[in-house]
Amino acid sequence: MYEVEIKVPADLERVRGRLDELGATRTDAVVQADTYYDAPHRSFPKTDEALRIRSERPEGGDDEMRLTYKGPLVDDESKTREEIETAVADGEKVDAILTKLGFDAAATVRKDRERFALEGYAITLDSVNDVGEYVEVETEAAGEADLESAREGAYEIVERLGLDPDDQIRTSYLGLLLAG
Amino acid sequence: MYEVEIKVPADLERVRGRLDELGATRTDAVVQADTYYDAPHRSFPKTDEALRIRSERPEGGDDEMRLTYKGPLVDDESKTREEIETAVADGEKVDAILTKLGFDAAATVRKDRERFALEGYAITLDSVNDVGEYVEVETEAAGEADLESAREGAYEIVERLGLDPDDQIRTSYLGLLLAG
């Protein structure tokens, strides 16, 4: 399974109007706070790994906490990473344990995230604190053969939302936050 | 709050009989598997720290998983350590994350643990795989002034269980397992 993902900066209010006109389905909305950690014995930016505690609050729900490890890119083309994740009861306790072990919280990315579905594509409207507003268009391709058509379909969705695929950025929100 | 804890090797079947005669209350029983980790950047035996994933199955219940950090002794007298613990949804995922970060599982201590209550003392019967059978007698003292009488009370319980307080051992089950 291959994941196709395009991220472009956007005026979310306008995109919301376009989604309405296109008849997209609003899936859900969450508030996420992602804290990324530095390791005491490795440079995660160099090894292309990440260690994260995510706190996610669904609409009308309670905070859910997850601990996630992301491995380096498996290959350049598919942008596939190994990801290991589990729910934890108390994110502050996990933070305290990591801190005791010498892992330091490097930065926290906070965002409001609203999700829509349209013709097999997942469309996410992200309002990221201190970073800006972005739209992500995502879909999956079963194999390499389908990758190109999935990508073209995603570009088309981006255009129908009134956005320009050429504005695409590949930097993570963490990268954008640290660069800002 | 000070914790008084005495651990002695014992024949659990005989101790069970004594507990019955003394009218002790059986509290509960659990099966525990504790996996301890080595750190890639520190020697936990030297720093007197521990990182553990505990899998605990209560009677008739499902496995519960917890991640625990234990800090070094705060002082020699009270045997007090900082302990930070949180429940996790998937212990195998936490193990996989720790392994990816360079923490290696050093050893797993498995034990059947049966708990009783008697006159303000908690009495635990531990059958530890590859280590042996032990009884722990525990209580808390509100302050240093009460420590000596709490300790004497615990010795008395040990004797009433037909055991000898002089057999007391201070080595952890992990230490006993690794030494065996």
Supply the mean pLDDT for chain B: 93
Pick the residue from chain A with its C-alpha nearest to B96. Answer: A84
Instruction: Please name the member of A41, A85, A94 whose beta carbon is closest to the beta carbon of B102.
Output: A41
Structure confidence by residue, pLDDT tens digits, A27-49:
999 999 999 999 999 999 999 99
| Distances, alpha carbon A13 to alpha carbons A124, A135, A166, in Å | 13, 11, 20
Q: B18-26 long-range contacts, Cβ below 8 Å, gap at least 24?
A: B18/B160, B18/B161, B18/B162, B19/B116, B19/B118, B19/B123, B19/B161, B22/B118, B22/B160, B22/B161, B23/B118, B24/B116, B24/B117, B24/B118, B24/B123, B25/B116, B25/B117, B25/B118, B26/B114, B26/B115, B26/B116
> Which ipTM did the prediction report?
0.86
- Whether residues A39 and B101 touch (CB distance < 8 A) is answered with yes
Q: CA-nearest residue of chain B to A92?
A: B86
Q: Grade residue B94 by pLDDT with cuts at 50, 70 and 90.
A: very high
Mean predicted confidence (pLDDT) in B148-174: 93
Q: What is the pLDDT of residue B128?
A: 98
- Do the beta carbons of residue B158 and residue B167 sit within 8 Å? no
From the CA of A106, how many Å to the nearest CA of chain B?
A: 16
Q: Which position among A2, A36, A69, A121 bears the catalytic label? A: A36
Cβ distance of A88 and B93 shorter than 8 Å: no
Say yes or no to pLDDT of A77 above 60.
no
* Window A:61-80, CB contacts with B under 8 Å: 67-69, 71
Give the pLDDT mean for B20-37: 97
Q: What is the pLDDT of residue A67?
A: 98
Using a CB–CB cutoff of 8 Å, tell me whether A48 touches chain B: no
Indicate the range of A41-55, A140-154, B153-167 predicted with least confidence: A140-154
- Chain A: give the shortest CA distance to residue B90, in Å: 6
**Mean pLDDT calculated for residue range B136-163:** 91
Q: How far is CA A97 from CA A42, A51, B39, B78, B95, in A?
A: 18, 13, 13, 23, 15
The percent of residues in chain B predicted with pLDDT above 90, rounded, is 80
pLDDT at A76 over 70: no
DSSP labels for B72-101? Answer: EES-TTT--EEEEEEEES-HHHHHHHHHHT
Which chain B residue has its CA at the smallest distance from A69's CA?
B97
Q: Do B86 and A89 touch (CB under 8 A)?
A: yes
Residue A114 host element (H or E): strand A104-118
What are the beta bridge partners of residue A3? A140
Residue B147's pLDDT band (cuts 50, 70, 90): confident
- Mean pLDDT, residues B58-65 taken together: 93
Whether B17 contacts chain A with CB within 8 A: no
Q: Is A179 on the interface with B (CB under 8 A)?
A: no
pTM, to two decimals: 0.87
Task: Say if the Cβ atoms of B89 and A94 lie within 8 Å.
Answer: no
Homologous superfamily, domain A2-179? Hypothetical Protein Pfu-838710-001 (2.40.320.10)
Cα A72 to Cα A46: distance, rounded to the nearest angstrom: 10
Q: What is the DSSP string of A9-58?
A: E--HHHHHHHHHHHTPEEEEEEEEEEEEEE-SSS-HHHHT-EEEEEEEEE
pLDDT band at B180 (very low <50, low <70, confident <90, very high): confident
